Copies of this chain bind each other. A is one copy, B any other.
Amino acid sequence: MKRSVLALIAGAAVAGVLASTSPGSGASDEATAPIYGIKIPAGYRDWKLISVAHEEGNLNDFRAILGNDEAVRAFRENKIPFPDGTIIARLAWKYVASEENNKVFGRPQSFVAGPPINVQLLVKDSRKYAATEGWGFAQFTNGKPDGEAIHKTCLPCHEPAKARDLVFTRYAP
């Protein structure tokens, strides 16, 4: 009983976050990612930094992983599983050489974030997303949600991180 009330409260909190991110107009379908029904949370670009990453190969990107307060607290306290209300945002930019920086260093060694590629979100709601280990997934390109096919790939890709509640990123102090 107590647990279900807590789940309700947590669910309501997440719903509140998501509702607050819907556009002012009634037509919100275009802003909602498929399958998990997630919108881009307002102010996510101001969230705290969890860590950074770089993928070579076809991705060839620079990544920053940001989190809302629930996410950052959980990372810092090593809380697994992450609590309901956690939202993790993975921002990716093109990985580009900085000629300007290379001149200063006197050799080609400097890489910086180029144009944005996309933003991925991990939203924890153990009730709403009970069928997918408590996580909802979303990907946005140029502020618009990507298609259903992309969103079907999220869960299987994250499954190998099951021991860490499907989250690959570790906190960078």
Contact = CB atoms under 8 A, between A and B. Distances in A.
Interface in A108-146: 108-113, 116
A53 B111 contact: yes
Nearest to A164: B100
A54 B172 contact: no
A54 B54 contact: yes
Interface residues of A, number: 42
Interface in A66-117: 66, 72, 91, 93, 95, 98, 100-101, 103-105, 107-113, 116
A101 B57 CA distance: 13
A148 interface: no
20 contacts: A45-B173, A48-B48, A49-B66, A51-B112, A52-B63, A53-B98, A53-B101, A53-B113, A54-B62, A56-B111, A57-B107, A64-B64, A100-B160, A100-B161, A104-B160, A112-B169, A112-B170, A113-B172, A116-B172, A116-B173
